[in-house]
């Protein structure tokens, strides 16, 4: 009988030890350097965000956090690598509007944005701002809508490409206001912004972060966040101008592979929220024109789902496709 009980206990212990969650929970976390996958090249907003998170996590957890830039395919290659990484909390990624909410609706990607990740927290957001060249005789959204309706199809706008957030965001604005505008897609954000600043195109709907490149050479008419942006406190929101609920922002957040143990996710969440609330975050991230915005893992997961639905409908309505 004693031998029988010993065998049962031994078998039960073996099952526990074999469970990945048990191993992760019992081991000292982190047990090795962290890998922060940034799905875009160095220097861009996603990269700057990833490097800040890596520095703060390294300091808080006592292990080096290494940024691994894996650009390509509009940020989807890096997320595919993350989805396939061991779910032990040592591999994280910076996900954002494009690779979590837009690209999956435009093309085949190697991951499911909902099932293949464990969201940790949103970290920053940058509202889109409706920017016009100063030569355009408008100083408000109301005046722009009146001009566009009087000259249907004659005003043009730049975007970073067909199916980009700037393109789809403007399509949402056109639908909300009844404007008829002509789309001019560019290969990237900077060429479109430069042409807007030079007056070659009339309008662009792009992130506040992006328009910092052109300073006062464009006129900012309205922002796409639900509340006024701390970066542009004097610029009204589209929602407050009569289009309740209108929201178009670019956002960035931290993800882990699905099945990462909840205790590890909780620790990562706590450290990330603490880092984003620090004066250093306000100085380094806020100075770029981004708004710091954190939430719980459950809230971030729900937000990703809602953004997928919104952008999926915008893709359908616009007929957008990958260039």
Sign of the CA dihedral with 196 first, then 197, 203, and 204 last:
positive
Q: Can the peptide bond before residue 244 be classed as cis, meaning omega within 30 degrees of 0?
A: no
Q: How far apart are the first and last CA of the chain?
A: 72
* Measured distance CA(267)–CA(65) in Å, rounded: 15
What's 230's DSSP letter? T
Question: How would CATH label the architecture of 2-123+249-318?
Answer: 3-Layer(aba) Sandwich (3.40)
What is the pLDDT, as a whole number, of residue 176? 93
* Measured distance CA(46)–CA(39) in Å, rounded: 8
Q: E strands within the chain? A: 34-38, 65-69, 91-96, 117-132, 156-159, 182-185, 203-207, 219-223, 249-257, 291-292
* Measured distance CA(251)–CA(121) in Å, rounded: 11
* Measured distance CA(35)–CA(63) in Å, rounded: 11
Sign of the CA dihedral with 106 first, then 109, 112, and 118 last:
negative
What is the pLDDT, as a whole number, of residue 323? 58
Q: Is 199 helix (H, G, I), strand (E, B) or coil?
A: coil
What's 127's DSSP letter? E
Q: Is residue 218 within 8 Å of residue 190, measured between CB atoms?
A: no
Residue extent(s) of CATH 3.40.190.10 domains in the chain: 127-223
Instruction: Find how far residue 17's CA is from the centre of its chain.
Output: 37
Count of Cβ atoms closer than 10 Å to residue 53 Cβ: 30
Largest Cα span, the chain: 92
- Show the 3-state SS of 33-79: CEEEEECCCCCCHHHHHHHHHHHHHHHHHCCCEEEEECCCHHHHHHH
153's torsion region: left (phi>0), alpha (psi -120 to 50) or beta?
left
**pLDDT digit string, tens, across residues 235-257:** 999 999 999 999 999 899 999 99
* Measured distance CA(311)–CA(307) in Å, rounded: 6
The per-residue pLDDT string of the chain (323 residues; one tens digit each, 9 = 90 and over) reads 444 444 444 444 444 444 444 444 445 899 999 999 999 888 777 888 899 999 999 999 999 999 999 988 888 999 999 999 999 999 999 999 999 999 999 999 999 999 999 999 999 998 999 999 999 999 999 999 999 999 999 999 999 888 888 899 999 999 999 999 999 998 777 889 999 999 999 999 998 878 877 889 999 999 999 999 888 999 999 999 999 999 999 899 999 999 999 999 999 999 999 999 999 998 888 777 788 999 999 999 999 999 999 899 888 887 877 75
Residue extent(s) of CATH 3.40.190.150 domains in the chain: 2-123+249-318
What is the pLDDT, as a whole number, of residue 2? 44
What is the pLDDT, as a whole number, of residue 162? 82
Q: Is residue 243 within 8 Å of residue 176, measured between CB atoms?
A: yes
Question: How would CATH label the architecture of 127-223?
Answer: 3-Layer(aba) Sandwich (3.40)
**pLDDT digit string, tens, across residues 33-65:** 999 999 988 877 788 889 999 999 999 999 999
* Measured distance CA(61)–CA(272) in Å, rounded: 11
User: Would you state the structure tokens that stand for residue 150, as one six-digit string?
Assistant: 């009087």
**pLDDT digit string, tens, across residues 267-286:** 999 999 999 999 999 888 87
Inter-residue long-range contacts of 231-238, CB under 8 Å, 24+ positions, other chains counted: 231/126, 231/286, 231/289, 231/290, 231/291, 232/129, 232/208, 235/129, 236/141, 237/127, 238/130, 238/141, 238/173, 238/176
């Amino acid at each position: 009988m004693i031998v029988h009980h010993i065998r049962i206990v031994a078998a039960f212990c073996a099952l526990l030890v074999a469970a990945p969650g048990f191993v992760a929970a019992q081991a000292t976390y982190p047990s090795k350097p962290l890998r922060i996958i940034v799905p875009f090249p160095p220097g861009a907003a996603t990269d700057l965000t990833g490097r800040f998170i890596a520095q703060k996590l390294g300091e808080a957890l006592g292990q080096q956090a290494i940024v691994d830039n894996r650009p390509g395919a509009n940020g989807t290659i890096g997320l595919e690598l993350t989805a396939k990484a061991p779910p032990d909390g040592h591999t994280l990624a910076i996900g954002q509007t494009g690779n979590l909410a837009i690209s999956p609706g435009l093309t085949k990607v190697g991951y499911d944005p909902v099932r293949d990740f464990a969201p940790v927290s949103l970290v920053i957001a940058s509202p889109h701002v409706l920017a016009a060249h100063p030569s355009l005789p408008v100083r408000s959204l109301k005046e722009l809508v009146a001009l566009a309706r009087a000259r249907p199809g004659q005003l043009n706008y730049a975007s970073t490409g067909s199916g980009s957030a700037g393109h789809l965001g403007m399509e949402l604005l056109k639908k909300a206001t009844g404007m008829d505008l002509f789309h001019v897609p560019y290969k990237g954000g900077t060429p479109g912004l430069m042409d807007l600043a030079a007056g070659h195109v009339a309008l662009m709907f792009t992130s506040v972060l992006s328009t910092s490149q052109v300073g006062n050479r464009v006129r900012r008419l309205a922002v796409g966040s639900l509340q006024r942006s701390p970066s542009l406190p004097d610029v009204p929101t589209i929602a407050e101008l009569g289009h309740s609920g209108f929201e178009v922002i670019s956002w960035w957040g931290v993800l882990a592979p699905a099945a990462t143990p909840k205790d590890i996710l909780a620790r990562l969440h706590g450290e990330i929220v603490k880092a984003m609330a620090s004066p250093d975050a306000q100085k380094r991230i806020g100075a770029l024109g981004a708004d710091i915005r954190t939430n719980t893992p459950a809230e971030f997961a729900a937000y990703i789902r809602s953004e997928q639905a919104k952008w999926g409908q915008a893709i359908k309505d616009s007929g957008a496709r990958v260039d």
